[in-house]
Structure 1
Amino acid sequence: MLAAIAGCSSSPTRAPVEDRGQTAGAAPAPTVNQVDPRSLPGYENMGKPGYYTVQRGDTVRKIALDHGQNWRDVIRWNAHVVPDPNAIEVGQVLRVSPPPGAAPSAPVVAAAPAPAPSVSELPAAGSASPAPAPTQPRATGGEEVAFIWPASGSIIAGYDEAKNKGIDIAGKAGDPVVAAADGKVVYAGSGLRGYGQLIILKHNNTYLTAYAHNRALLVKEDQSVTKGQKIAEMGNTDADRVKLHFEVRRQGKPTDPSRYLPAR
């Protein structure tokens, strides 16, 4: 669950949401809690399906990832209320689902009908016990995806809904990171705090996968990739050790990747 997003200072979505501050010489501005929400753009859509109220610490990229959308789409859908994406505000209401008739900028890529051999088939060094058999939830509309392991190391941190939105896989600097399924690169960069050098793939309208803390990114935004293709090199950017943080997001929401990955 949530996309070049290359991290340059002029990137339209690097800045987090802003509280309404004060200018030099002006009277103190009201705190966030004191701002009348009716004065913020999009207030009339608050609470409606397909809309999101901006929280402290949000960025357009983070909001897009959390809702399974391309960050460019989110900007485009909200151009009339957010003329400057660098200045979204706490309490502002943004559209996070396509308006009627809108076409996504990242086309849906169908998953391959059968898994292909990949690095996932190598034994996991140091693995104490095999992973549990997958109990993959069923997607609607023929959007099942047969995922493979994105790296060959053992799991060093499992999924925790509150603390860890995916799994962490051990490895050495430079180890290959591969696409878990066919997809489209909707994010490649370092603009999401806590993820380091990050790649996000969109597999269809239901599933996204995220690959974090890489030392090198080998694909670019809008590029199509195939299952098992090397997309990055493992690293420790924005992490305490070399590892791959891997997430599966179903309709924008994080879910336990081990439920989708084959036993090994």
Structure 2
Amino acid sequence: MASLSACAANTNRAPIVDRYNPSEQRPDYYVVSRGDTLFSIAFRYGLDVQGLAAANTIRAPYTIYPGQRLRLREGRVPAPRPSVSTKPIVASKPPPKAVSKSPSKPKTPPLQSAPANESWRWPAAGPVLRAFVATSQAHKGIDIKGKMGESVKASRSGTVVYAGSGLVGYGNLLILKHSERYLSAYGHNRRLLVKEGDIVKAGQVIAELGDSGTDTAKLHFEIRVDGKPVDPLRLLPRR
């Protein structure tokens, strides 16, 4: 009887959605929710974060608030200012009321970029289960086979700009920013070992491989250039 009950329970499980399908028409606007960052919103809708910020007149460090309405398009990116910090800010509460005096705050450190000549590294040791398909609207990276709890490593040095489970189909997800153009993403983790704002080195263990948001233990890995997915196998070393 126990076996029959288990089988019945399995047949009633909700189907696993591999990840958000961008083939659905992108809405014109998005209302910010608690836990969002501008990076996670740009990632979800396939936009360049700097272009999204420009379209909404948001300056670094890209502070957003729950309930804020964002235009989902890319604006003209202004010339960069070297002294401006771009540490990601998580949407958590409305802006504080203005006061006549406020204590001075320490300066926010800028995002750590990967050295220009730093090579990409494999984020997990297993074989590729599913390759990148340029024409696919739903699968924008590669899946790497693994076992529960195995190490997931940073493919390049950079800064954690998103750590959470708010993007449908990615499970526990990390997004790293390596430069103004390059991001990498690590999905379906069992446990995240770094948090937003952390600076990581290439090869550093950043998560434990898992099956969150999917039906088997694997790592979903993506590389984005100017917000657009590219084939990771073109950048990773041959093995």
**TM-score normalised to structure 1 length:** 0.58
Q: Look up the match of 1:221.
A: 196
Q: Look up the match of 2:6.
A: none
- SS of equivalent to 2:143: strand
- SS of equivalent to 1:86: coil
Q: Look up the match of 1:199.
A: 174
**2:48–2:74 contact (8 Å) kept in structure 1:** no
Q: Give distance in 2, aligned partners of 1:104 and 1:253.
A: 23
State yes or no: 1:155 paired with 2:133.
Answer: no
1:17-28 map, 5 Å: none
Q: Look up the match of 1:44.
A: none
State yes or no: 1:54 paired with 2:35.
Answer: no
Q: Look up the match of 1:88.
A: 69
1:148-173 deviation per Cα after TM superposition (whole angstroms, max 9, x unaligned): 00000000000013131000000011
Name which of 147, 150, 155 aligns with 1:175: 150
Q: Give distance in 2, aligned partners of 1:64 and 1:192.
A: 11
Q: Look up the match of 2:114.
A: 111
**2:161–2:176 contact (8 Å) kept in structure 1:** yes
- SS of equivalent to 1:64: helix
1:46-82 deviation per Cα after TM superposition (whole angstroms, max 9, x unaligned): xxxxxx9736899855542233428x96898459xxx
Q: Look up the match of 1:11.
A: none
1:26-37 map, 5 Å: none
Q: Look up the match of 2:42.
A: 64
| 4+ long deviations beyond 4 Å | 55-62, 72-76, 92-102
**2:123–2:155 contact (8 Å) kept in structure 1:** yes
User: Structure 1: which amino acid aligns with 2:112?
Assistant: V
Q: Give distance in 1, aligned partners of 2:120 and 2:236.
A: 6
CA RMSD after TM alignment: 3.5
User: Structure 1: which amino acid aligns with 2:215?
Assistant: D
Figure out how many residues of one structure are paired with residues of the other and give that number: 179
Unmatched segments (≥5 aa) in structure 2: 1-25, 88-109
User: Structure 2: which amino acid aligns with 1:254?
Assistant: P
- SS of equivalent to 2:42: helix
Closer, same or farther in 2 for the Cα pair 1:239/1:84, shift >3 Å? Answer: same
Name which of 162, 184, 197 aligns with 1:209: 184
- SS of equivalent to 2:206: strand
Deviation of 1:101 (Å): 6.0
Closer, same or farther in 2 for the Cα pair 1:74/1:151, shift >3 Å? Answer: farther
Q: Give distance in 1, aligned partners of 2:122 and 2:143.
A: 12
- SS of equivalent to 1:205: coil
User: Structure 2: which amino acid aligns with 1:109?
Assistant: Q
Unmatched segments (≥5 aa) in structure 1: 1-51, 113-142
**1:189–1:198 contact (8 Å) kept in structure 2:** yes
